């Protein structure tokens, strides 16, 4: 059994809901566009096919996309018999599939830069590095969950947006749901308000599915109900995930996050972003420099291939928006909870942990 398959087997035996894995010589992933009604397992036979799966949202979530980089480079190494140039080209292709989430780009660069030699030597090096990245992502989920749970009080009602859970990470809780799941496992009596998250409905289809599996009480709301729920006293805290954090603490997350943060500030409700140090982009000084992925407008005018608007109507779909750091109470990481001023505190925490 390969090292990477051994890692998968060990964690599946722990009951982790892994969104992508390597098994019996084959890369497999769960088609998240079919959830919650079907849990279709797709076999990925090429890097090109994996890229299409990422761009079409069959697999999504910043943590899961990041580990796609590790699996993708390993797949490329196997299929090219360890050809370093072709492995590099595969990495370049994968990095261009989703421009906003920085985890994928960082993971690909990290593994390609450390790939040594060619042939079987390169395959072995890539596999060992890939397993290390998978273990690191899983450790991040447990660690940031532990730090974040310290912010959660017994009886808290927590709102989250989009899906930042097990299917969006390495199998435990991704980002926001790592915090929520850990607090629940600690015995805290919490209730989650999950936004449906138009237009892909990740909150309704996947977050609600995972909360149900974890046994965590929850209520589904439409995205435009958050202000009402806050004004009526339904919400005590907001915890969301992240796709990229600029060096000044500005947050790129699923579109709609910004308006929830504005409403939270107006009602004096703490607003937290759960992330990992790997998602902090010190090469991007502020959120305005983050490229926001613009997706096909048909994803707004149609759902599951069926039109929900008049034919020919114009639509807009920025997949993410930018939440200014001034609206963020704290950034939960595997290194601890970081607060303002983010410009200095983010670097201090991450640099100290690297010593």
Are 211 and 203 spatial neighbours (Cβ–Cβ below 8 Å)? no
- In angstroms, the CA 44 to CA 58 distance is 12
Place of tokens 């390597």: 22
**What count of Cα atoms within 13 Å lies in the side-chain half-sphere of residue 196?**
9
Provide the Cα torsion 346, 350, 353, 355; round to 10°.
-120
Residue 27's SS3 state is strand
Q: What is the DSSP string of 85-132?
A: HHHHHHHHHHHTS-SS-HHHHHHHHHHHHH--SSHHHHHHHHHHHHHH
Q: Is the dihedral of CA 308, 42, 131, 74 positive or negative?
A: negative
Q: What are phi and psi of 176, to 5 degrees?
A: -60, -40
Are 205 and 212 spatial neighbours (Cβ–Cβ below 8 Å)? no
> Where in the sequence numbering do the catalytic residues fall?
243
Are 50 and 65 spatial neighbours (Cβ–Cβ below 8 Å)? no
* Residues facing 237 on adjacent strands: 158
Both tokens assigned to 39: 């849990």
């Amino acid at each position: 059994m390969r090292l990477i398959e051994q890692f998968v087997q060990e964690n599946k035996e722990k009951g982790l809901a892994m969104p992508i894995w390597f098994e019996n010589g084959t890369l497999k992933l769960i088609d998240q566009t079919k959830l919650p009604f079907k849990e279709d397992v797709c076999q990925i036979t090429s890097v090109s096919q994996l890229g299409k799966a990422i761009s079409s949202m069959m697999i999504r979530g910043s943590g899961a996309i990041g580990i796609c980089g590790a699996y993708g480079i390993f797949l490329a190494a196997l299929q090219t018999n360890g050809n370093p140039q072709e492995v590099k080209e595969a990495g370049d292709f994968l990095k261009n599939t989703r421009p906003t989430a920085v985890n994928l780009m960082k993971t690909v660069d990290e593994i390609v830069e450390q790939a040594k030699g060619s042939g079987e030597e390169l395959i072995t090096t890539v596999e060992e590095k890939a397993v290390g990245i998978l273990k690191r992502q899983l450790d991040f989920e447990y660690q940031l969950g532990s730090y974040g749970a310290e912010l959660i009080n017994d009886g808290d009602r927590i709102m989250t947006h989009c899906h930042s859970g097990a299917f969006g990470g390495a199998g435990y809780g991704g980002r926001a749901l790592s915090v929520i799941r850990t607090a629940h496992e600690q015995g805290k009596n919490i209730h989650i308000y999950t936004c449906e998250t138009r237009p892909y409905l990740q909150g309704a289809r996947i977050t609600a599915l995972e909360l149900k599996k974890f046994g965590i009480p929850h209520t589904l709301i439409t995205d435009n109900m958050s202000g009402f729920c806050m004004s009526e006293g339904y919400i005590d805290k907001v915890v969301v995930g992240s796709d990229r954090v600029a060096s000044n603490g500005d947050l790129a997350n699923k579109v709609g996050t910004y308006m929830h943060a504005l409403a939270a500030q107006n009602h004096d409700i703490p607003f937290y972003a759960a992330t990992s140090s790997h998602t902090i982009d010190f090469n991007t000084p502020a959120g305005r420099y983050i490229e926001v992925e613009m997706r096909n407008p048909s994803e707004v005018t149609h759902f599951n291939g069926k039109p929900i608007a008049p034919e020919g109507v114009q639509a807009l779909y920025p997949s993410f928006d930018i939440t200014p750091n001034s609206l963020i109470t704290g950034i939960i990481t595997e290194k601890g909870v970081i607060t303002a001023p983010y410009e200095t505190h983010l670097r201090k925490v991450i640099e100290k942990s690297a010593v």
